[in-house]
Amino acid sequence: MTSWEPMLHVRNAASLEGRNPAALSRRGFLQAAALATGASPFLNALRIHAAEIRRKGKACILVWLAGAPSQIDTWDPKTGTPNAGSARPISTKVPGIQVAHYWPKMAQTIDQVAILRTVRGKEAAHERGTYHLHTGRRLGTPEKHPNFGSVVADKLGDPDFDLPNFVSIGQTVSSGFLGVRVAPFIVDRAGELPRNVKQLVSRAQFARRLRYLQEQEAEFAAAGAEGLVAEHQTIYQRAVRLMQSPRLKAFQLADEPQHIQKAYGSSPFQKGLLVARRLVEAGVPFVEVRRGGWDMHNSIEQRMPPAAADVDQGLSQLLRDLKQRGMLQNTLVVCMGEFGRTPKINSRTPAPGRDHWARNFCILLAGGGVKGGRVVGKTSRDGTEIVDREIQVEDFFQTWARLMGIDPDEELYTPSGRPLKIVDGGTPIQEIL
């Protein structure tokens, strides 16, 4: 079955749960009824705005720093306290805003960036925090909530597009109850044609195998598995369309000018950011790029310089590149991890570090309508307490949805027909909108 690698890979990207057709019909009926009877001007405005965003090619690039970066060693540096460690504040392009000295290139693009310094999480374990910051929900409920990238793919993506509407360079959270139609397409090696879309046999052999598979699936459906077969057929159709798409070149870097490639850098993560720009340029509305290595319980002073340098060069170049191409206005860039790290450095020998900390951490946003060159929130001198403007994770998701032109109060339906709002609670962060 190795010749079915493209389909098997997409199948494994998320659970095969699909949406209940009855629930979809119900939602469509309710929306039509609301419009017919005069829905609120706010909701109608959001729907018009979402349609305009689709026309303009609104997109989001999520830069995911897996393992949870230290806020003090990134965007909320401290000085004159033992908690500061080796991080030194440096000035940026915007007077009054400082970042840690590991980020000299980002310091020169900070006029495009909004820093949220007082995000308060509720989860300080990696799996739970990753789920929380990808879905806006906490683990522990019966529903498997969708990755926000899948929500964007559902609301802003083109169902007939020949590229996936959600691409993740590195593993990520699944599409949950939204199903395989908007599941993340996983890319393991940035800059190369994904292994799972390479056609390993001739076109004639491929067509013959598809025909045999369809015959087997028909028997399976007749035995009572119509829903599962329908999901499989969706996967196969999208996989075949992707394999034959001329836009596949967006995954590769062969035709990208060398000076652009050099500006981004040559690490897998830096190549991933360049691929993300190419995918957005090709019409993909949501791309996630993962960079691990931030779980620095020990050796933080040795591990921060190379990790930060990798992200500093790639992320700053991404913002410059998007701006130069006229894409930054419609492309939201978000940079974050699953929580923060303790302000106090631990006593692990021989090389100490920082432990898990969800009480306050940072998120960066740029482009996509964000007001740049500003900081929201303030922490205490030693970084242990929020002293001004606490931001809940739900506030961030409210803001994220609105920046993407998505109504956060719209209800999605689980396979059992249960309605769940896209964002449960929270208030938009008006300072950056």
Q: Which residue has the higher pLDDT, 1 or 258?
A: 258
Banded pLDDT at 223 (limits 50, 70, 90): confident
Lowest mean pLDDT: which of 89-103, 233-247, 316-330, 397-411?
Answer: 233-247
Q: Which residue has the higher pLDDT, 31 or 108?
A: 108
Q: Which residue has the higher pLDDT, 87 or 21?
A: 87
**Mean pLDDT (whole number) for 338-366:** 97
Backbone angles phi, psi at 357, to 5 degrees: -160, 115
**Mean pLDDT (whole number) for 362-387:** 97
Domain limits, the chain? 42-195+249-432
Banded pLDDT at 26 (limits 50, 70, 90): very low
Question: Is 60 exceeded by the pLDDT of residue 159?
Answer: yes
Q: How far apart are CA 358 and CA 300, in angstroms?
A: 18
Amino acid at 159: P
Q: What is the pLDDT, as a whole number, of residue 224?
A: 75
Place of tokens 């799972």: 196
3-class secondary structure per residue, 121-136 = CCCCCHHHHHHHHHHC
Cβ contact 353:295 at 8 Å: no
| Helix (H/G/I), strand (E/B), else coil: 2 | helix
CA distances from residue 300 to 9, 242, 322, 350 in whole angstroms, order as listed: 36, 42, 32, 11
| Helix (H/G/I), strand (E/B), else coil: 177 | helix
Q: What is the pLDDT, as a whole number, of residue 208?
A: 75
Q: What is the pLDDT, as a whole number, of residue 199?
A: 57
pTM of the model: 0.83
Amino acid at 415: P
**For the residues of 103-164, what is the DSSP string, one character each?**
-HHHHTTGGGEEEEEEEE-S--SHHHHHHHHHHSS-S-SSS-PPPHHHHHHHHHS-TT-SS-
Q: What is the pLDDT, as a whole number, of residue 210?
A: 67
Lowest mean pLDDT: which of 70-79, 101-110, 244-253, 255-264?
Answer: 244-253
Q: Which residue has the higher pLDDT, 108 or 193?
A: 108
pLDDT tens by residue, 71-82: 999 999 998 888
Q: How far apart are CA 68 and CA 294, in angstroms?
A: 5
Question: Is 80 exceeded by the pLDDT of residue 216?
Answer: no
Question: Is 50 exceeded by the pLDDT of residue 38?
Answer: no
**Mean pLDDT (whole number) for 266-291:** 98
**Mean pLDDT (whole number) for 213-236:** 73
Lowest mean pLDDT: which of 181-195, 257-271, 391-405?
Answer: 181-195
Mean of the per-residue pLDDT values of the chain:
86
Q: What percent of the chain has pLDDT over 90?
A: 71
Q: What is the pLDDT, as a whole number, of residue 235?
A: 65
According to DSSP, the residues that pair with 331 across neighbouring strands are 59
Q: Which CATH class is domain 42-195+249-432?
A: alpha beta
pLDDT tens by residue, 282-322: 999 999 999 999 999 999 999 999 999 999 999 999 999 99
Question: Is 90 exceeded by the pLDDT of residue 196?
Answer: no
The CA-to-CA distance between both ends of the chain, in Å, stands at 50
Place of tokens 């940079």: 335
CA distances from residue 329 to 84, 190, 414 in whole angstroms, order as listed: 35, 25, 34
**Mean pLDDT (whole number) for 412-416:** 94
Q: What is the pLDDT, as a whole number, of residue 315?
A: 99
CA distances from residue 375 to 294, 298, 357, 430 in whole angstroms, order as listed: 23, 29, 20, 12
Residue 97 gets the label, from left (phi > 0), alpha (psi -120 to 50) or beta, of beta
Q: What is the pLDDT, as a whole number, of residue 218?
A: 80
Q: What is the pLDDT, as a whole number, of residue 129?
A: 98
According to DSSP, the residues that pair with 288 across neighbouring strands are 62, 168
